[in-house]
Structure 1
Amino acid sequence: MKALLPWIETLRERAQAEGLTFPPVLFEEVGPEEMAMLAAYGGFPRRYPHWRWGSEYLRYRETYRYGLARIYELVVNTVPVQAYLLKGNTLLAQKLVIAHVYAHADFFHNNLAFKPIPKDMLSEMAHHAAYVERAMERHGARSVEEFLDLVLSLENLIDPHAPYIQRPQEEEVPKPQDRLRVRPYLDPYVNPPPEPPKEAEEGAKPQALPPRPTRDILGFLARYAPLAPWQKGILEIIREESLYFAPQAATKILNEGWATYWHTRLLLPLLTPKEAVDFAEMQAGLLAPHGLNPYRLGYLLLKEVEERWDKGRFGPEYEALPLGERLRYERPTGEGQKKLFQVRTVYTDLNFLEEFLTPEFALRHRLVSPEELPRFAEAKKALLFRLTNAGYPIVELVDANYQNRGELLLVHTYEGVELDLRKTKAVLENLHRLWGRPVHLKTVVNGKETLLSAG
């Protein structure tokens, strides 16, 4: 690690001189075994006990052992930023990774998707682990792990936009005035939870619950489901961690493209001719055109944005030109860098690809052949659909007292793709186990509106 300290400082100064801004970054070298453990834990040294981490650890360890994959670095979105470097990397590889890390740190610090995300998750994850461990001591490891399995099967039933939404106080469900502010997973112990909805008397008009359709189904269950306090605490833990990782899933292509763009820009001027050749070989491997490579697609799109804005290839004047003239169109403006920083700040993968993934770009980089160009719009639509809500179906809870029986009614936002009925059945059954009453889902099956039920 000592040999890397001058490069850590040099690359930090270069990054800041180029306009990147980030909190302090702490670098640590770890071996392959520890890197596999950290990767399994999502970059955190401590997580709650569960078999899924062991399964992930074995996968990472074996793929490294057999040369199928190699984790060069891990970056954790905290303050200070925690970055892990793999021992055994060449000096050039470590220098590349350090520059890559600084760009990730800048992205975490400035992209609006990460603004409401807590930056103290190292300690928060440790609190979560301690909470679950205490629950295991009191209620039995098997019962707690089975409950974790149940909740983790529903971990995507969150509203990824919840941290950004602020509603007027009077629109919220009334809360007691003497509630104490504590961590969400401790709230059921400190503040008595409200009663779940019950069947109303004939002729009564119960207050709508939830007051408006919500995608935050885990949050609703943590508040209203007839569960023990320790179970509600675990629901809040899974929800909180899912919300923490949601922006990373929503910006994977842009984030990796940004880091690749900047490690190239920061490091290349510092390399010897021999190192430049080795760097080109490493870069070729990183940007290999296999599947949906987020490094390649993000990097090439950012280069495209920079070039278009530097050459004036944007706006109505450009869009009105035929394809052949667009490719030859040049009008120097010097706006490329300014546009890149704007993209880094306000875009996620969805609007990044929607705006800048054009037929011209796809042709130039051989994402499609000329014969496939007529189907480009359809392929792009399918890709954007995969990126919407991290690829999960969008489901809202619309009524927790369906037909005045205290049952849940969910509605699937149908956008031309039907649900996997086997998985849907399992989800409904698990929701029924948590809620204790029947659960219903409106969706489309075989082209017809259908009500699926469990319980």
Structure 2
Amino acid sequence: MITPSTLNELVDTVWPVAELLGLSCDHIHFELVDGEDIQALASYQGLPIRYAHWSFGKSFGRLKTAYDYRLSHIYELVINSRPYFAFIDRSSTSAQAMLIVAHVMAHVDFFGHSRLFAPTNRLILHQTARHARYLAAMRQEYGTERVESLIDAGLVLADFLGPVNASQAVGTDPADVIGFVARYSPVLQDWEREVLLMLRAEAQYFWPQQISKISNEGYATFWHTRILRHLALTGDRLWDVAALNAKLLEVHPPTLNPYVLGSLLYQAIYREQGLAGVFQARDFWDDVGLIRGALTPEIAQTAQLGVYREKDAGNAAVAADVEKIRQQLIQDVEHGGVPYIHVMEDITKSTGELSLWHNDDGRELDFYQLPFALAQIAQRLWGAAVQIRTIRQGAPHVARHNGTQWTDEAV
């Protein structure tokens, strides 16, 4: 277990080495927390102040169970704000904390330089605190059930928010589905529109993280390894560092380990282009760009990448060349794994039904969840039928929910 004074000593040791090697970081406020506290932070997606919602409690229960049964361990959380905040599990050893501090510094360097995070609201903590106060007031005025049902339905659309760095007004881009509903819904009251815009604003903050999981974690892993190699570690500390690093780099197919894949991709870039190439990849590439630009057969083999049959109980990998693996990976991480859905504005305004179009990219919509999602939108947000045009099993389909009945027809 580490103390604040020990943590300060570790920061003073790691920081100058990281800067000498090329990282640049603004001020980071480090905070030691208990394991249960860091799980609570993670359940709120890393933000200590957010509105109350049952989904955060569900997430906390899942994380705590995994921690109690030693299935997972969260060592740190970094908030991309100004200043940056880094929460570290106080049960870590000093050697583990040294690795974690180096890892955190690399995350902060990534946040500060990547084009993906340029539009990020640096005052996110102030914003989420304001959202929490507003929603608490709405619960008092309109009742918990009405607010909860609104949040439930709003979260269905939260990731469909259009270009994060666009200058268009809310709801004017066809991909900004949640903005369109907030702006044009015929049934929402003003306070309900405001809540949807709050959900949209928070989703905008998280979106860059959603499309850079491999590139961000890989970059941090690449750098904590380089930094620690330049530190004089005693035998005991070296053992603790190696043990934690090995745990981070464990591979359990078919689950993808972003630390492993990302760090291998950055290592390949470093061998070919040096640190200039690494920094260029940090500045411009999301997960898709990193995979497309750096994946090789050797990396695919080392990271134990394969193509897996969904219904194969043994999770046996299908023999595939690197190009097929690259294409599958890109499809999996493209657009953060979120389907491309647009509003068909002309049809919507002429029929009164909210008409959506799914731009099929080979990933079918989940037809188990789709009826429930459309029902939430129709009943709580639009007050009329919702339909979506998509491809199912290779054929055009129109799925529709009018608030009471679900239909799915080939067209």
TM (normalized to structure 2)?
0.88
Structure 2 residue aligned with 1:386 = 332
Cα offset, 1:408, TM superposition: 2.2
Cα offset, 1:146, TM superposition: 1.7
* Shift in CA distance, 43/366, structure 1 to aligned 2, threshold 3 Å: closer
Output the CA distance in 2 between the equivalents of 1:366 and 1:272: 32
Higher Cα Rg: structure 1 or 2? 1
Cα offset, 1:277, TM superposition: 3.1
Structure 1 residues 278-289: aligned runs within 5 Å: 278-289=240-251
Match of 1:155 among 155, 158, 183: 158
Match of 1:296 among 260, 264, 288: 260
Partner SS state of residue 442, structure 1:
strand
* Shift in CA distance, 82/412, structure 1 to aligned 2, threshold 3 Å: same
CA contact (8 A) 1:400 1:407 kept: no
Match of 1:306 among 270, 291, 304: 270
Aligned length: 385
CA contact (8 A) 1:150 1:430 kept: yes
- Whether 1:272 aligns to 2:234 is yes
Structure 2 residue aligned with 1:191 = none
Cα offset, 1:365, TM superposition: 5.4
Match of 1:142 among 138, 142, 145: 145
* Shift in CA distance, 154/443, structure 1 to aligned 2, threshold 3 Å: same
Range that drifts further, 259-268 or 337-346 = 259-268
Give 2:174's aligned amino acid. T
Match of 2:13 among 2, 10, 13: 10
Cα offset, 1:157, TM superposition: 2.0
Output the CA distance in 1 between the equivalents of 2:99 and 2:48: 24
Structure 2 residue aligned with 1:223 = 183
Structure 1 residues 72-111: aligned runs within 5 Å: 72-111=75-114
Output the CA distance in 1 between the equivalents of 2:306 and 2:160: 35
| Runs of 4+ residues over 3 Å off in structure 1 | 363-369, 371-376, 400-403
Aligned Cα RMSD in Å? 2.1
Structure 2 residue aligned with 1:194 = none
Match of 1:396 among 339, 342, 353: 342
Partner SS state of residue 230, structure 2:
helix
Give 1:165's aligned amino acid. A
Output the CA distance in 2 between the equivalents of 1:304 and 1:254: 13
Match of 1:440 among 364, 387, 399: 387
CA contact (8 A) 1:359 1:373 kept: no
- Whether 1:428 aligns to 2:390 is no
Structure 2 residue aligned with 1:128 = 131
Aligned-residue sequence identity (percent) comes to 34
Give 1:108's aligned amino acid. F
Output the CA distance in 1 between the equivalents of 2:304 and 2:378: 48
Partner SS state of residue 404, structure 1:
helix
Gaps of 5+ in 2: 308-316, 403-411
Structure 2 residue aligned with 1:351 = 289
Output the CA distance in 2 between the equivalents of 1:255 and 1:402: 39
TM (normalized to structure 1)?
0.80
Output the CA distance in 2 between the equivalents of 1:216 and 1:383: 26
Give 1:445's aligned amino acid. R
Range that drifts further, 393-402 or 106-115 = 393-402
- Whether 1:454 aligns to 2:401 is yes
CA contact (8 A) 2:161 2:177 kept: yes
* Shift in CA distance, 372/406, structure 1 to aligned 2, threshold 3 Å: closer
Give 1:25's aligned amino acid. I
* Shift in CA distance, 295/90, structure 1 to aligned 2, threshold 3 Å: same
Gaps of 5+ in 1: 173-183, 185-209, 310-335
Output the CA distance in 2 between the equivalents of 1:89 and 1:274: 14
Residues 187-228 of structure 1 show CA distances to partners (whole Å, capped at 9, x for unaligned) of xxxxxxxxxxxxxxxxxxxxxxx76x6111001111111301
Range that drifts further, 54-63 or 118-127 = 54-63
Output the CA distance in 2 between the equivalents of 1:4 and 1:105: 17
* Shift in CA distance, 138/302, structure 1 to aligned 2, threshold 3 Å: same
Output the CA distance in 1 between the equivalents of 2:392 and 2:145: 37
Cα offset, 1:86, TM superposition: 0.6
Structure 2 residue aligned with 1:62 = 65
Give 2:324's aligned amino acid. E
Output the CA distance in 2 between the equivalents of 1:249 and 1:54: 21
CA contact (8 A) 1:268 1:276 kept: no
Cα offset, 1:266, TM superposition: 1.4
CA contact (8 A) 1:411 1:441 kept: yes
Output the CA distance in 2 between the equivalents of 1:165 and 1:158: 10
Structure 1 residue aligned with 2:49 = 46
* Shift in CA distance, 130/365, structure 1 to aligned 2, threshold 3 Å: closer
Give 1:68's aligned amino acid. L
